[in-house]
Structure 1
C-alpha cells in the first residue's frame, strides 16, 4: 500500500471531531500527488526511451533540423539520458553521434536543462534517438519539413499533408504544372490534375449508398445488369468492389470523347472475364460499377457523382469528363519524365477522349485540396456513417471499395495513367488524424522512387512531425 492510499484510509475513519487533522492529511496527500504530476508525460509509450529522463523535463513538442556547428569536428553526442541531471533514472550513456543524422528533420519530444546546457529528446521518423544538446538543432516549421521532403526526392507536383485533422492542412508545391507556359504546380484551383484510380473510392462510396438504400446488395449478380459478360451469373457486386471478379483488361484511349453508354460498351468489348476469383487489379471493374449506378438510379453516373458527392462536400474545383468537354478556367497539368537527371522531358497530357472512357475509374480532374474534402467526408458522416464506412472497407482484406485495406490503421490508394508521368496517391489513417495526398506530374523521382513510395514518405511526415 503506498503513502497516498494510507492517507486516504486514515481520512475515511476520521470522525467529525478530527476535521482539522483530516484537512492536514488531505493536504499532505495532495502534495504527494503534485510531486508525481511533475514527471514527464509522453504521447506514445512505444517511442519512450528505456531509461527515461527526469522529473523536471518540459514536454513542449516542436520540429527541428539536426545541424552540426562549424566549430565542431563532428556532431553532438546523443545520450540515453540527460547527462548530469538530478533525479534522473538510469545512467546517461552515449547512443550515437548527431552527425549521423546531419540535416535530417526530427521531432523534439521534451527538453531538460542540466547545468548550463539544455538537452532535447529527439524522435526521428517515429524512432526515439535520445537526448542531445539543443545547440545542434534548428527549429523549423511543419511546412518546411514537408517542402524539404518534396525537394529531397525531386517530387514535381502538389502535395497536401495533414498531421492533425483539427488544423488547416499544409499544402506544398514543387516545379511546373506546365513548363512551357511557366505555370507552377498548385492546389488553389488554377491547376487541375487527372485523378486516375483515386476516383474508385468515390464510386465505391456511391455503391455503398445504394446498399444502404437497399437498392442493391453485395451479393447482387453482375448478370442482372450486364448478362452478356462471361461468368456474369457468378460475379457479384462485392467482387467488383474488391477486384476479385476475374475481370481483367486495360481500356485504351479512343479517338473521340465518349458518352457514358458508349464508355460502358467500350469497356465490355475490351474486358476479359476469366472466371477466377483471385485479386487482379483492373479499372474495368469500377467502370462497370459506374454503369450499374446509372442503371439503378435512372440517372447518369455524372449526375449522381455531382449531386451526392461533389456538391455535398463543396468540391468546386472538381470536374467530370464525358462526351462534353468541361468548361474550365483552370489549366490541365502536363506530365513529364525525368531522364538521366534532366527534368521535364517527354511532355504529354491525358486527352479528354482517354478520360471519357473511364467513368467511375478515372474521368475526373481535381486538386489535392478538393480530394482532401472527400477523404474527410468519408469518415465524418457527411457521406457515410461510421458503420457504412466500416462495411465499405471490409469486403476484402486486401482491396475494398476503392482502397487498399491491408495495412493496419491506414487506408490508401495509388493511381497512374499508362505511359505518362502522372501519379496520384493518398494515405489516410483511420479517423483521418494523419493524411497525405500527393498529385505528381513527373516520374520517376530521385533514385527511381515511385509515386506510391513517395506518398508513404509523406504519410510518415504526417504521422511523426
Structure 2
C-alpha cells in the first residue's frame, strides 16, 4: 500500500507524462504501410497511405536494331527484296511504326560481310536536306532571310545580286559547278575552291547542280563564323541525337560498306572525293538514323511547320526543294555517289516511309528507285 505522500508523488509523475503526451504534435507509427498518429494524448484518425513514386528507368531505343518481318505485308516486302538479289539495308515504316529493318546481300563482297542494320552507307545528295535545315535554323535566328540576295553574303559569285537564298534551296538560281578538285584540302579550302568554280549558265530555269548548296555552305560560314562540320555536329548529333560519320571515320568503321559500280566493280577508297562534297554528299548514315532524321523533320522537331513550308517552297512547275522532290502526296529523295545509291519515299507526315540504302549503283536501269516506288505503293494498298 502507498502512503498518501507516495500516491501524491505518483499522481504528479502521471500528470507530467500526460502533459508531455499532450504537447506531442505528431507521433507516427508505421505498420504495414498504414500511418497512425497520436496528438494531445489521443489516438488520431488514420492518414491516407503515402504513395511512393516508382521511377522506371528510361530505356534508350536502339534506332539501329533489326526489325524482323511479322505482318503479312512486311513478310511480302522482305521476300520481294530478297528476290531482287540486290545489296543494301531496307527500313519500312507503316502508320508510324517500323515494320521492317533488315540488311540484304553483302556489305563487302570480297570479305563476304553481310549487310546489316548497322551498316553505314554514303547518303550522297540526301545531305542537301540537312544543309537546308541548317539554313532554316539561321533564318529562325534572324541571320538570314530567304529573300536575301546572295550578294549580301557572297558578292564574288556571278550575278549574285539577282539570286536569292530561296533560289539556291530550290535550284533555280542558275549556278553550275564546272570543276572539282581531288587535292587534299581542309573544309575551308574545298569550300573556297568550289565557290571559285561556280558559273551562271542556266539563269531563269531549274537546273540541278551541287553548286547551289556549295553557295549555301558559304553563306552559313559568313553568318555564323563557324565551319559546316561544327554546325552539322552541334545540330544533329548534339541537339537531336542523330548519328552519322564523315568519310575519314567511315573508312575505319567496322560497319563500313564497300561501294560498287554498275558493273559490280568495287570503287577504291578516296576520301578526297567525299570530303570535297561539303554539304552535298560527304557523310554516311544507317537506315535507322536517316529514319529518325526524316521523322523528326516532318513532325516539326527540328524546325517549325512554318519554316518547313518556307524551306519547301517550289518554283513554278517544279518539284524540287531542299533535298526532296514533291510528288504531290509524298516526298521522294535520291542520290548517287561512287556506287552508293540511297532512295527514299515517304508520306508528308512521315508515318509511311521506305528507306533503301544500297551500295550498288543501278542508276542506268533504275532498279533501286523502282524498288522503292513499288514498295511504297504497297504500303498504301495493303492493310
TM-score, normalised relative to structure 1: 0.63
CA contact under 8 A between 1:250 and 1:282: conserved in structure 2? Answer: no
Looking at structure 1, the residues matched to 240 and 100 of structure 2 have their Cα atoms a distance apart, in angstroms, of: 19
User: In the alignment, which of 362, 369, 372 is matched to residue 452 of structure 1?
Assistant: 369
Residue 332 (structure 1) aligned with residue 256 (structure 2): yes
CA contact under 8 A between 2:91 and 2:98: conserved in structure 1? Answer: no
CA contact under 8 A between 1:333 and 1:349: conserved in structure 2? Answer: no
Looking at structure 2, the residues matched to 454 and 168 of structure 1 have their Cα atoms a distance apart, in angstroms, of: 18
Residue 432 (structure 1) aligned with residue 363 (structure 2): no
Looking at structure 2, the residues matched to 184 and 452 of structure 1 have their Cα atoms a distance apart, in angstroms, of: 22
Residue 248 (structure 1) aligned with residue 176 (structure 2): yes
User: In the alignment, which of 204, 213, 219 is matched to residue 147 of structure 2?
Assistant: 219
- Which of 146-155 and 200-209 deviates more? 146-155
Q: How does 1:311-350 map to 2 (within 5 A)?
A: 311-316=238-243, 318-321=244-247, 328-337=252-261, 339=263, 345-349=264-268
Q: Bigger relative contact order, structure 1 or 2, given CA contacts below 8 A and separation 6+?
A: 2
CA contact under 8 A between 2:287 and 2:355: conserved in structure 1? Answer: yes
Looking at structure 1, the residues matched to 72 and 351 of structure 2 have their Cα atoms a distance apart, in angstroms, of: 19
Residue 377 (structure 1) aligned with residue 296 (structure 2): yes
Looking at structure 2, the residues matched to 169 and 220 of structure 1 have their Cα atoms a distance apart, in angstroms, of: 43
The structure that is strand-richer by fraction is 1
Aligned length: 311
* Superposition deviation, residue 143 in structure 1: 2.8
Partner of 1:163: 94
* Secondary structure in structure 1 of the residue aligned to 2:172: coil
User: In the alignment, which of 175, 178, 181 is matched to residue 108 of structure 2?
Assistant: 178
* Superposition deviation, residue 377 in structure 1: 1.0
Partner of 1:273: 200
* Superposition deviation, residue 320 in structure 1: 2.9
* Secondary structure in structure 2 of the residue aligned to 1:285: helix
Residue 356 (structure 1) aligned with residue 314 (structure 2): no
User: In the alignment, which of 168, 171, 188 is matched to residue 261 of structure 1?
Assistant: 188
Looking at structure 2, the residues matched to 262 and 348 of structure 1 have their Cα atoms a distance apart, in angstroms, of: 25
Q: Please provide the CA RMSD for this pair.
A: 2.3
* Superposition deviation, residue 294 in structure 1: 1.9
Partner of 1:300: 227
CA contact under 8 A between 1:192 and 1:330: conserved in structure 2? Answer: no
Looking at structure 2, the residues matched to 444 and 395 of structure 1 have their Cα atoms a distance apart, in angstroms, of: 28
User: In the alignment, which of 197, 200, 211 is matched to residue 284 of structure 1?
Assistant: 211
Note the alpha carbon deviations across 1:41-74, whole angstroms, 9 max, x for none. Answer: xxxxxxxxxxxxxxxxxxxxxxxxxxxxxxxxxx
Structure 2 unmatched ranges of 5 or more: 1-69
CA contact under 8 A between 2:127 and 2:280: conserved in structure 1? Answer: yes
Structure 1 unmatched ranges of 5 or more: 1-138, 340-344
Q: Residues 187 and 267 of structure 1: is their aligned pair in 2 closer, same or farther, counting only changes over 3 Å?
A: same
* Superposition deviation, residue 268 in structure 1: 1.9
CA contact under 8 A between 2:158 and 2:198: conserved in structure 1? Answer: no
* Secondary structure in structure 1 of the residue aligned to 2:79: helix
Note the alpha carbon deviations across 1:217-251, whole angstroms, 9 max, x for none. Answer: 11111122222221111111111101111111365
* Superposition deviation, residue 338 in structure 1: 5.4
TM-score, normalised relative to structure 2: 0.75
Note the alpha carbon deviations across 1:398-441, whole angstroms, 9 max, x for none. Answer: 21122112x11111111002xx3321111111111211111111
Q: How does 1:16-415 map to 2 (within 5 A)?
A: 141-165=72-96, 167-188=97-118, 191-249=119-177, 252=180, 254-256=182-184, 258-274=185-201, 276-316=203-243, 318-321=244-247, 328-337=252-261, 339=263, 345-349=264-268, 351-396=270-315, 397-405=318-326, 407-415=327-335
Q: Residues 349 and 459 of structure 1: is their aligned pair in 2 closer, same or farther, counting only changes over 3 Å?
A: farther
CA contact under 8 A between 1:195 and 1:366: conserved in structure 2? Answer: yes
Note the alpha carbon deviations across 1:95-119, whole angstroms, 9 max, x for none. Answer: xxxxxxxxxxxxxxxxxxxxxxxxx
Looking at structure 2, the residues matched to 429 and 347 of structure 1 have their Cα atoms a distance apart, in angstroms, of: 34
Looking at structure 1, the residues matched to 159 and 283 of structure 2 have their Cα atoms a distance apart, in angstroms, of: 30
- Which of 202-211 and 267-276 deviates more? 267-276
Note the alpha carbon deviations across 1:136-168, whole angstroms, 9 max, x for none. Answer: xxx963332222221333332111111121x23
Looking at structure 2, the residues matched to 174 and 227 of structure 1 have their Cα atoms a distance apart, in angstroms, of: 48
* Secondary structure in structure 2 of the residue aligned to 1:144: helix
* Secondary structure in structure 2 of the residue aligned to 1:170: strand
Determine which structure has more spread, i.e. the larger CA radius of gyration.
2
Q: Residues 197 and 250 of structure 1: is their aligned pair in 2 closer, same or farther, counting only changes over 3 Å?
A: farther
